[in-house]
Amino acid sequence: MAEKSGMSSRQWWTLVLGVFGAAIGGATAIGPLAGGVLTDTLGWRSIFFINLPIGVAAFAAGVARLRESRDPAGGHADWPGTALITAALTALMFALIAATPIGARKGPAGPFVRRLVSQRPGRHAASRPPRPRHRRAATDAQPCASPIRGGL
């Protein structure tokens, strides 16, 4: 494309990245505004239907403007791998979402699920500082005892 426009490759990529950045910035500014207008006028379910006409328009523009670029030496799709990663991610999402209602403390995977959803990676229970055994009772005067605690 750069050759057809008479621009150098560097100028072309500068223009492309500038247009891309402007599109991202515009979408960031317009997206929440358009979402608010849609939910106020048509209800919250309308936000799920806005992608349909945009997707149809993008598909039609792609079919009309883009040419095939298939690599004749390219490989085939890895359908068993696609099915395996889909099943693995579905199982992981089920475990993370349903761990509490099912009971994350039950079964052989209970400690693993509890650790996965409750702590940061690499942080072990033994490395945490010990909790104080006795805590002072809070009184009404304590929040004002220090400007930091009182929020002043």
Q: Is 81 among the domain residues?
A: no
* Euclidean distance between the first and the last CA atom of the chain, given in angstroms as a whole number: 61
pLDDT band at 124 (very low <50, low <70, confident <90, very high): low
Q: Is 140 among the domain residues?
A: no
Co-location of 9 and 61 in the same domain: yes
Output the pLDDT for position 120.
57
Please state, in angstroms and rounded to a whole number, the distance separating the CA atoms of residues 132 and 115.
Answer: 23
Co-location of 99 and 57 in the same domain: no
Please report, rounded to a whole number, the percentage of residues in the chain having pLDDT higher than 70. Answer: 61
Q: Is 60 among the domain residues?
A: yes
Q: What pLDDT, in 10s, does the model give residues 62-121?
A: 999 988 777 777 778 899 999 999 999 999 888 777 766 555 555 555 666 666 666 555
Q: Is 149 among the domain residues?
A: no
Q: Is 49 among the domain residues?
A: yes
Its pTM stands at 0.37
Please state, in angstroms and rounded to a whole number, the distance separating the CA atoms of residues 101 and 117.
Answer: 14
116 is in which domain, residue-wise? 86-120
Q: Output b/e per residue, 55-89; b: 16+ Cβ within 10 A.
A: eeeeeeeeeeeeeeeeeeeeeeeeeeeeeeeeeee
- What number is the average pLDDT over the span 127-144? 55
In this structure, are residues 46 and 38 in contact, taking their beta carbons and an 8 Å threshold? yes
